[in-house]
Amino acid sequence: MPFLSKRSKRQSRRLAHIGIVIAVGCLFTLLAILVQPFTSIGSWLSDQLFVPEPPSPNIVIVGIDDASLETYGRWSEWQRSLHAQAINNLSQAGARVIGLDILFADTSSDDLVLAQAIERAGNVVLPVVGVEPLPSARSEVTFRHFLLPTAPLGQACLSLGHANVVSDGDGVVRRLPLLVKDSSGQTYPAFTLAVLHALFPKPLPQEYLLQDGKVHLLERDIPVDASSRLRINFTDVAESYAALSYGDVIAGSFDPLVVEHKIVLVGMIATGELDTWLTPVSASKLSGVWIHANAMDTILRQRFLMDTDWRVTLMVMLLLVAITGLALPRLKLKWGGVLVAGLLAGYLVSVFLAFDTGYILNVLHPVMLLPLAYVTSVLCMVVAEQSDKRLIKDLFGRYVSPQVATEILELADVGRLELGGEKRTVSVFFADIRGFTQMSEQMSPEDIVDMLNDYLSIIIQRILDNDGMVNKFAGDNVMAVWNAPQFQQDHARLAVKAAWEAQQDIMERQRTDDSLPRVQFGIGINTGEAVAGNMGSSGRAEYTVIGDAVNLASRICGATTGGEVWIGHDTYRQVMDDVEVEELEPRSFKGKAEPVVVYKVVGLR
């Protein structure tokens, strides 16, 4: 039945190719999911997805800038009455919420003045700051304790929120923890949440429930990670939020319309201050108050971003593994490259589209997977090509001599596989069975083939052992050549040695194997000039040698007594020091005007 038929080598190789590509892809996918290598590079790639977008017009940043410090002196020496004056001016201008990103942890003689201004405004939010981060078994951002504003200020403000900014492992701020805890388990909402609850206005909840990766606040389902961190959707740095100098606000020299009905955030932006951070949208550090403004903007306009979890990445990567694993082994390198490039471009487009809808796909690992699959496929093809070359050479070696196979492959490799030849001195070996025609009439064709294979295997092995080229077969006849296509200094000696050893092996085999039919080979050898090269036509060619020396070798073989080795005079002159011979009576051969002296080999020295 067809499904039980044996697979061809090509089919087996393709299945192995598919299996290797899929296996490598699955291993890399497993590594990407469990180990998550090159995380910082992946985060950087995700950072490139941000496109410039104008900020919310409802948020105003009042910066404590260099001009403010120059006007009112060193920050540590400022009287808190200045802040009270700024709050009064902002309140009178109609600011909807005033968020002071300033920690008043130390008591001051004019705390009462500032507390009264805060209480009169009724819309001031103050920060608390956690110190000494602690590891948490529940992935929550936890600090050992918090620095709080002084009691009068804390009681006067509308609400408190933590102002901690936490960067990722590469030092870039991408997320803001909306909820943090202290060592006793008390929860502090983010400064961002406190300001937004004051805006609507709504009291801060007593507890915060996290369900399905979201926390429901301000009539919004805000997506957060396991650590209750919000992914900030940053706005354009070049076109930043409406800004005022804190010095102008203190002096009252600002346009009230800028802050009317707006969220006003006051924070340090002066040069050299510590509250600056790296962000995905700027190469330089930006102030903490700007980061809080972006977090508020993200929630206010519901521009939420969500990192897709590992299951989405797993599904995407397995899909890519399946496509590349099944397709690449069936495609040529060029089309495989086109497929990988197309998948790469398609996935990157999907990444951008997903980002626009609020989902951040894993950019790095699927992008790494595609070239990895392609390189794996290419390596498999290279290995298969080398295997094919070895297979072709092995197949050539069964039908032509290994030397000829090597010569053909080398000539084909350099584009010189053409018809033609060159004159060369060669030693030619012929062997055939005595009385083969009569024997053929008495044996079945199958028995004849088996008998020939047994005897010819012995002769061919001795030819190959002595570096000869098996040139052709013709029934019971075998022809071999030395000094073509490769040069050999002692070609005559090697030919005679191969013939003598073949006769000895045949006699030994007949002595030990009674089932083998008894036959005798006559072997003739001659040395002389011949033309060696590719003979035939452009469609069918054969590497061989032709010339009078070749014809004489065939004639000598035909005259040789069974079980003996006869050599021509030119062969004898080259091997006289290496063999023992018996000179025979000159023989007349077809094509020769004069009788030819031949020698019977009786031993090797």
Q: What is the pLDDT of residues 459-487, one digit of tens each?
A: 999 998 998 888 888 878 999 999 988 88
Between CA 32 and CA 524 the distance in angstroms is 71
What local confidence, expressed as pLDDT, does residue 11 receive?
83
Residue 540 has pLDDT above 80, yes or no: no
Residue 414 has pLDDT above 90, yes or no: no
What local confidence, expressed as pLDDT, does residue 358 receive?
92
- Count other C-beta atoms under 10 Å from residue 505's C-beta: 16
- Tell me the per-residue pLDDT of 249-272, one tens digit each, with 9 for 90 and over: 999 999 999 999 999 999 999 988
Output the average pLDDT for the chain. 89
Residue with tokens 């035939």: 536
What local confidence, expressed as pLDDT, does residue 2 receive?
47
Most confident of 151-155, 535-539, 541-545: 151-155
E-state strands within 486-595: 521-536, 541-546, 565-568, 579-583
Distances (CA, A) of 532 to 115, 403, 438, 549: 111, 13, 35, 12
Class of domain 403-604: alpha beta
Distances (CA, A) of 93 to 70, 202, 509, 539: 25, 22, 118, 97
Confidence category of residue 418, pLDDT binned at 50, 70, 90: low
Query: Do residues 428 and 546 make contact, with C-beta atoms less than 8 angstroms apart?
Result: no
Instruction: Identify the H or E element spanning 62.
Output: strand 59-64
Between CA 162 and CA 399 the distance in angstroms is 85
Query: Do residues 428 and 553 make contact, with C-beta atoms less than 8 angstroms apart?
Result: yes
What local confidence, expressed as pLDDT, does residue 474 receive?
81
What local confidence, expressed as pLDDT, does residue 23 receive?
95
What local confidence, expressed as pLDDT, does residue 533 receive?
81
What local confidence, expressed as pLDDT, does residue 293 receive?
96
Between CA 544 and CA 540 the distance in angstroms is 13
Residue 170 has pLDDT above 70, yes or no: yes
What are the extents of the domains in the chain?
A: 2-48+308-386, 59-300, 403-604
End-to-end Cα, the chain, rounded Å: 62
Distances (CA, A) of 54 to 98, 220, 475: 22, 22, 91
Residue 238 has pLDDT above 80, yes or no: no
The mean pLDDT of 206-227, rounded to a whole number, is 90
What local confidence, expressed as pLDDT, does residue 445 receive?
85
Query: Do residues 295 and 176 make contact, with C-beta atoms less than 8 angstroms apart?
Result: yes
Which residue from 321, 335, 322 is spatially nearest to 381, judged by alpha carbons? 335
Q: Which amino acid is at 247?
A: G
Between CA 558 and CA 514 the distance in angstroms is 27
Confidence category of residue 140, pLDDT binned at 50, 70, 90: confident
What local confidence, expressed as pLDDT, does residue 410 receive?
67
Between CA 396 and CA 389 the distance in angstroms is 10
The mean pLDDT of 527-532, rounded to a whole number, is 93
Residue 397 has pLDDT above 70, yes or no: no
The mean pLDDT of 179-201, rounded to a whole number, is 93
Confidence category of residue 47, pLDDT binned at 50, 70, 90: very high
The mean pLDDT of 329-357, rounded to a whole number, is 94
For helices 288-300 and 191-199, the axis angle rounded to 10 degrees is 50
The mean pLDDT of 581-599, rounded to a whole number, is 91
The mean pLDDT of 138-159, rounded to a whole number, is 92
When mean pLDDT is compared across 441-455, 491-505, 517-531, the lowest value belongs to 441-455
Confidence category of residue 91, pLDDT binned at 50, 70, 90: very high
When mean pLDDT is compared across 300-314, 434-448, 515-529, the lowest value belongs to 434-448
Residue 159 has pLDDT above 80, yes or no: yes
Confidence category of residue 359, pLDDT binned at 50, 70, 90: very high
